A and B are shown apart, each in its own frame.
Chain A
Amino acid sequence: MPGNKLITLAEAVGRYTRDGVQYASGAALPVGSDAVVFGRELLRQKRKNLHAIFHCNTQQLNLLAGAGAVDKAECGFSGLEVFGFANGLRRAVESGQTALEDYSNLAMALRLLGGAMNWPFVPATVNIGSDIQHRSAFAPDEYPATRKIPTVTDPFSGQEIGAFSPLKPDVAAIHVSLADPLGNAIMLGTEWSRFELSRAARKVILIADAIVDTDCMRQYPNLVRIPDIVVEAVVYHPFAAWPQSSPGLYDVDEAHMKFMNKSLSTVEGTANYVLDYVESYNDIDSYLDLIGRDNIERLSNSATSFLLDPYRKWIKTPAEIAALTAEVTA
């Protein structure tokens, strides 16, 4: 089938990432839609020295940084919201393993917009005047920092403002609720900055909880905020955001969120977590077994389940998806 871009998770990581890559993910805030399973696969394939661009930290960055795979990171919010501090990222920052460059949440979205537009810079009316502007983890000896958010003059008003540097990540793994095999995607819940990211990144890989027929996209074209023309590859992976939530599909796994974050607070805990929850499965079925079939049923019984109703009739079965994936690989 022309244009079918379905490949496996392992193949996507193998083909599109390398050590030191500028890697963007963290699609929708710290406890929501994110391609957490892509981060697990990066560790399975021993990727390291990553430069992470995460609009907000998520359990994915928490895991990658906690496991020592991240040299540099750029973030807006770097915690886990009500789940507290991100212990893996925190440990990596406090030890000096990861240099974390701080911005605000609007700043990160604007920097992605700037990259998408190929602008030389983006005017900054926020972050200026605070230590986000004055302190740079990437240039720690420069104080006040002059290259992170340089001061520029608004040519119209004469007001001094700042300039944000645009972002064009090498590769982005973007979590979406629904994708078709061509790479058209629908996101349920806030899209956060996935729209901008999908245009800013040089290569975009979609990680979809469910695969639908293209007819679904033709029924709701207004909702397709990521069209196939900007997408390199599509990976089907149910519960890709686990233990985070995916509106319409599954809730936050509260117990595992806490367990995972507690594990990541120490070197030993992280090693055990990687052994038990990163390297322990071989395929989608064994990944779902690891989450627990009862747990999956409970998490899927979400107050948001109705959000998926309009799309259900187009959802493809695992067997259909396997056949489509085999076509691309063949």
Chain B
Amino acid sequence: MSTLPYSRQEMMAIATGRELRDGELAIFGVGLSMLAGYFAQAHHAPNIRAMTEGGVYGATPVGGLPWGIECNRISANATSFTNAIDALGFLVASGRCDVGIIGAAQVDKFGNVNTTGIWDGEIGETYRLPKTRLTGAGGANDIACGAGRVVIMVTHEPKRFADKVSYISSPGYLDGGNARDQFGFVGGGPSAIVTTLGILRPDPVSKEFILDAYYAFSSVDEIRAATGWDLKVSPTVHVVPEPSLEELAALRRVDETGALRI
């Protein structure tokens, strides 16, 4: 029985938030990634320029996790409302955005993200119906193509960590190496996959994600067992510092409704 004073989801959100630096122009996806981003703002990055793809600027959520990037919880104290072309186009596709946080239903060893559907095995030559239809790419494809770097936040389970995703909704490093170059993306690709068990980072040349760090409550063996490909381990693999009291307090102020504690 775990007696940790924080949940695994909270550790993931804090580790994700630590990836953000003060002053950056940052875009957050809906849900848990938004909590991670606003945690960073509440804790160590007070001057972060936070935005969502909804074109809602200058806002901090009120009343807990917003139901959506446009809902009243994120519209009650905004300083500017614009639109999709502005947020995802002028500020992300342009190359202005430093960092984005996106979620994933499935991710592979090159950081490609699937949020479109689950098929039994490969789709094949004909685009057949998915066994389970998911939410589609939304703005994550645009963030994956355009943000300077991308942090992928995902629950660590074997079914979510595939050798190859069945559908690339949002590009990571595609087939690895310099495969992104062909498309001229202004964004640099995913810099980290932060999970409920640890942190994976890409090899600088092959772009294959390897285990960089684990948490106080997880282990290298546990993480390898929960990964659907033969996960390589960095020679400098290390333990991630546990959340400080200040970090937990800041996160819980943002996560007023306890979405990360379920």
Of A10-18, A88-96, A210-218, the one with at least 4 CB within 8 A of chain B: A88-96
Does A195 contact B93, Cβ atoms closer than 8 Å?
Answer: no
Q: Once the chains are docked, how many angstroms separate the CA of A100 from the CA of B129? A: 10
Among A103, A126, A129, the one with the most B-chain Cβ atoms within 10 Å of its Cβ is A126
A173 adjacent to chain B (CB < 8 Å): no
Nearest chain-B residue to A82 (Cβ)?
B67
Q: Does A113 contact B (CB under 8 A)?
A: yes
A-B contact count (CB 8 A): 223
Q: Evaluate contact between B72 and A303: CB separation under 8 angstroms.
A: yes
Question: Is there a chain B Cβ closer than 8 Å to A78's Cβ?
Answer: yes
Known: A109-B88, A132-B169. A191 touches B68 (CB 8 A): no
User: For the side of the interface on A, what is the size category?
Assistant: 35 or more
User: Would A137 and B127 count as touching, CB distance under 8 A?
Assistant: yes
Asked if A77 contacts B135 (CB within 8 A), the reply is yes
- B167 x A135 contact (CB < 8 A): yes
> Any chain A CB within 8 A of the CB of B219?
no
Q: Are the C-beta atoms of B136 and A140 separated by less than 8 Å?
A: no
Task: Mark interface residues in A49-66 (1 if CB within 8 Å of B CB, else 0).
Answer: 000000111000000000
- Cβ contacts A to B, 27 pairs, < 8 Å: A33-B70, A57-B136, A77-B136, A79-B136, A89-B133, A94-B129, A95-B129, A104-B139, A104-B140, A106-B85, A106-B89, A109-B89, A125-B185, A131-B167, A135-B167, A140-B128, A190-B84, A191-B55, A192-B54, A194-B83, A196-B83, A247-B72, A257-B67, A302-B76, A303-B63, A303-B72, A304-B72
**B residues with CB within 8 A of A:** 30-31, 53-56, 62-63, 65-73, 75-76, 81-85, 88-89, 92-93, 112, 116, 123, 125-142, 145-146, 167-171, 174, 180, 182-186, 259
Q: Which positions in A face B, CB cutoff 8 Å?
A: 28-33, 55-57, 75-79, 81-83, 85-86, 89-90, 93-96, 100, 102-110, 113, 125-132, 135-137, 140-141, 143, 157, 159-161, 188-196, 245, 247, 251-252, 254, 257, 302-304, 307
